[in-house]
Structure 1
Amino acid sequence: MRTVIDPFKIKSKPKYHPGRVFQKLGSMLNEHTSKKGFESFALPERSLPKNGERDSKISDQGSQDTAVTDTQRAVLLEALLITEPLDFPVCEIGAYRGHTSRFLASRTRRSYLAVDPYIGYGAWKEDMEIMLDGTKGLNNFKHFRMTSGEASKVITGLGFCFVDAVHDYANTKFDGFTYGQKLVSGGVIAFHDTDNPQFPGTRRAVYEVANSEIGFDLLFHVEDLVVLRKR
């Protein structure tokens, strides 16, 4: 089992702690390397087959509370339904205002675990309140207000995981390897913002996870969304 350093664990140290300074320098180098090799870390495109019945379920789901597009939402729904026979929970890393959380959690019978500490990095307490209000009434929904590293200590086997958290190399790599290894055989992990030049580290990290010893097959790849299935 591969162990990857948790960036948030290092960030908990004092600002001028040697480990934190080293992490900062390493992060800058990794992002530079990722940007320089951006094109080389692209994965093949793999679109969603036409399916009018499932597509119709998402036709009215657009919202300013999410960066997930209708096309990406359709792919996430397909991936979720593919894993529905697996009797293992669904997990989302980075819930923001809960729009995607509500959409997916309402379409599965399984437990839905949303991980987001709401300490900045794109999501604050006000966003959490919107998320909690929007997911009220979903009996299968549970929020873990902690970092993905902290949550990884209590979350075990998974059937599906959607990673849409901190978009840099170190964090995407940590989430990808940590939660990718928690998937059961046939389980799926999806990554958002994989083709955006603003987040070159995310693309590189997903490429490395996809080609890692964990053993994944590319299930879908549409603009800014990669979905991998564990063998």
Structure 2
Amino acid sequence: MTTMFVDASVLFGEAKAAKAAGEHGRACDLLRQAVEIDPSHAAAERMLKLIETLPALSFTYTRVVDFLLSKGMGFNEQLVATENLIRKYDLRVGVELGVLYGYHAQHLVEACPNLFLYGVDAFKKLRVGNGYDDVTQEWFDGLCSKTRGILEPTGRWQLVRKTTLEAAASFDRPIDFVFVDADHGYEGVRDDIEAWWRHVKPGGFVCGHDYDQPEWPGVRRAVEECLGKRGLKPTVDRGFVWWVRKPV
């Protein structure tokens, strides 16, 4: 009896075709099969890049992300880049704009024992075309409860359930860094940087995610515009993470 071996690259190709055809559930199943065959970080990163533009439905995105994390894979480059920045400069108080599943926040709180992190997320649909057009408010509420259940027991994380701009208007604590990862449109990133800049201490950091991601060209444009008018340039780190130190 002959056993047929399927190359992981073939499955990635089939998953891409399924995604293009709108068969998101099948695309996820094929991606998981591919990573079973090729359990490398490179494969996980390839998988993540493909699913980033899938609708953020519970049966699609959650299944894939949970699968990757169960394998100890996915998000590694982003997590390491942010963690290294926090550790190197002993950053104690931070704000993350955009929480969603809380995986990034969970890693930072667990890896950086001196860190207290605020998570800002309205957990609701804010505009069309931001990746959540097919998601219900019930889904957002359920995700919010799940995320809080993961992070609040640490004692070093607090949810601010407001929009990023509402939170900026009422926030009254100086912070060592802000991580911009909420609305990925040009206006959203621009407005978040401008609104939160004043809250960062001199010598602190303004940073974020998805710089140079093909799916989100507005991120780079907004970052370069906001920093450029201040005579600054971003450092682009691994995992599409960018950061800049606020002048003293």
The verdict on a shared fold, with TM-score over 0.5 as the criterion, is: yes
1:83 to 1:178, Cα distance in 2 relative to 1, 3 A: farther
Of the three residues 109, 115, 119, the one matched with 1:114 is 119
User: 2 CA distance for matches of 1:68 and 1:200?
Assistant: 22
Amino acid at match of 1:168: G
Alpha carbons 2:224, 2:233 under 8 Å: kept: no
Residue 200 (structure 1) shift: 1.2
Alpha carbons 2:119, 2:157 under 8 Å: kept: yes
1:179 to 1:200, Cα distance in 2 relative to 1, 3 A: same
Matched, 1:198 2:199: no
Matched, 1:105 2:109: yes
- Give the number of equivalent residue pairs: 167
Q: Secondary structure at the match of 1:205?
A: helix
In the alignment, what sits opposite 1:227?
Answer: 243
User: 2 CA distance for matches of 1:212 and 1:108?
Assistant: 35
In the alignment, what sits opposite 1:27?
Answer: none
**4+ residue segments displaced more than 3 Å:** 65-68, 215-220
Which of the pair has more CA radius of gyration? Answer: 2
1:205 to 1:78, Cα distance in 2 relative to 1, 3 A: same
User: 1 CA distance for matches of 2:238 and 2:214?
Assistant: 15
Residue 83 (structure 1) shift: 3.5
Q: Secondary structure at the match of 2:152?
A: coil
Of the three residues 167, 173, 195, the one matched with 1:178 is 195
Alignment of 1:203-222 (within 5 A): 203-213=220-230, 216=232, 218-222=234-238
User: 2 CA distance for matches of 1:160 and 1:168?
Assistant: 21
Amino acid at match of 1:132: R
Alignment deviations for residues 54-103 of structure 1 (CA, whole Å, 9 cap, x no partner): xxxxxxxx98159972122111001112332x56x210000001111111
In the alignment, what sits opposite 1:47?
Answer: none
User: 2 CA distance for matches of 1:140 and 1:210?
Assistant: 30
User: 1 CA distance for matches of 2:97 and 2:211?
Assistant: 15
Matched, 1:167 2:184: yes
User: Runs of 5+ in structure 2 lacking a partner?
Assistant: 1-47, 49-63
* TM, length-normalised to structure 2: 0.60
In the alignment, what sits opposite 2:98?
Answer: 94
1:68 to 1:116, Cα distance in 2 relative to 1, 3 A: farther
Residue 219 (structure 1) shift: 4.0
Matched, 1:141 2:157: yes
User: Runs of 5+ in structure 1 lacking a partner?
Assistant: 1-61
Amino acid at match of 2:83: L
Residue 197 (structure 1) shift: 2.0
Amino acid at match of 1:200: P
Alpha carbons 2:117, 2:158 under 8 Å: kept: yes
Larger proportion of helix: 2
Moved more, 75-84 or 117-126: 117-126
* TM, length-normalised to structure 1: 0.64
Aligned CA-pair RMSD: 2.5
Q: Secondary structure at the match of 1:127?
A: helix
In the alignment, what sits opposite 2:61?
Answer: none
In the alignment, what sits opposite 2:75?
Answer: 69
User: 2 CA distance for matches of 1:187 and 1:148?
Assistant: 19
Residue 204 (structure 1) shift: 0.2
1:94 to 1:68, Cα distance in 2 relative to 1, 3 A: farther
Residue 180 (structure 1) shift: 2.2
Residue 225 (structure 1) shift: 1.6
In the alignment, what sits opposite 2:6?
Answer: none
